Chains A and B, each alone.
Chain A
Amino acid sequence: MAQEFTRHGLWFSLHFLVSMETLMQELTLTNLETVPGRDIVRHLGLVQGNTVRSKHLGRDIMAGLKNIVGGELKGYTELLSDARDEATDRMVEEARGLGANAVVNIRYSTSSVTAGASELYVYGTAVVAE
């Protein structure tokens, strides 16, 4: 019984290690149709990630003030780049789920769903490259 348990535990930790390894594996993201210096062996289909964000009041007030003197609205810049990172993470998750090791031909796009909120969308093709 104990032996079986240990064997089971060993198998489990091995399995865990393997899945960790695939998780840690670097996923190459490019917006070209190829992976530079490597060959694409298989196309796994379209993967996408999105997030809808709205700006918050504090930032809005700051932006209103900044509107008088002009210049960069840092709060919004950060907000949008964080949101894009999150959308990218979601796309990467989806690509990992398909067993891809690269996503090619990535495109970013922005659309506004409703007043004061915008959707950040990123999509690409998951591939296996060697």
Chain B
Amino acid sequence: MGGIVSFIILMLIGFFFGRANEARHFNRLQREEAELSYITTVNLKKLPKDLEPGGVVVSGNVVIAVDYFKKIAAALRMIIGGRLKSYESLLERARREAIIRMKKQAQAMGANAIYNVRLEFSAIGSQPQAFGGVELLAYGTAVKLK
């Protein structure tokens, strides 16, 4: 009985706080992306001719976890298979956040472009499925175009 009660409480906490967190995070992502949009990020290796010598590797990482409600929802969804929306939004948030952090590093150096951007994904912990957390790393070479 106690198990069911705590399960329901966790589901409710996860549902409300998780949703609020996600909405807030998406708002912040949108705002910061707009602020940093002057930094061009491309995954090309070829550099244009007119740039200042020197480049620096910049990187941004984030470890993010899914909330309890979404975890259960995804587990249920896995019975019938199909699209797991809760994990889609988790990965989208993680990617965008990692890119923003990378751009912030570039901004601090006064760069205005990042070349050869790569996104690296890793699952954390002994049982990634149980943990539900992922790490996203974005890195690239920051340069200053004239």
Q: Which residues of A contact B (CB under 8 A)?
A: 28-38, 55, 63, 66-74, 76-77, 80-81, 84, 106-110, 112, 115-116, 118
Contact of A29 among B57, B63, B66, B133 (CB under 8 A): B57
B89 to chain A, nearest CB (A): 10
Contact of B120 among A63, A69, A76, A109 (CB under 8 A): A109
Knowing that A37-B54, A72-B65, A76-B135 are A-B contacts, what are 4 other residue pairs whose CB atoms are under 8 Å apart, sorted by A's residue number? A36-B143, A38-B54, A68-B67, A108-B59
Contact of A76 among B47, B68, B133, B140 (CB under 8 A): B133
A104 to chain B, nearest CB (A): 9
A-B contact pairs, 29 of them (CB 8 A): A29-B56, A30-B57, A31-B118, A32-B47, A32-B115, A33-B45, A36-B52, A38-B54, A55-B124, A55-B125, A63-B131, A67-B67, A67-B68, A69-B14, A70-B22, A70-B64, A70-B65, A70-B67, A72-B63, A72-B64, A73-B63, A76-B63, A80-B137, A81-B59, A106-B139, A108-B137, A109-B120, A110-B122, A116-B126
Q: How large is the interface on B (under 10, 10 to 19, 20 to 34, 35 or more residues)?
A: 35 or more
**Measured CA separation A109–B139 after assembly (Å):** 11
Could you say which residues of chain B place their CB within 8 Å of the CB of A84?
A: 59, 61, 137
B55 contacts partner chain A, Cβ-Cβ < 8 Å = yes
Question: Please, which residue of chain A has its CB at the minimum distance from the CB of B143?
Answer: A36
A29 to chain B, nearest CB (A): 4
B70 contacts partner chain A, Cβ-Cβ < 8 Å = yes
**Measured CA separation A73–B66 after assembly (Å):** 10
Known: A110-B120, A116-B126. A68 touches B14 (CB 8 A): yes
Q: What 0/1 readout, one digit per residue, does chain B (70-109) give for beta carbons within 8 Å of chain A?
A: 1100000000000000000010000001000000000000
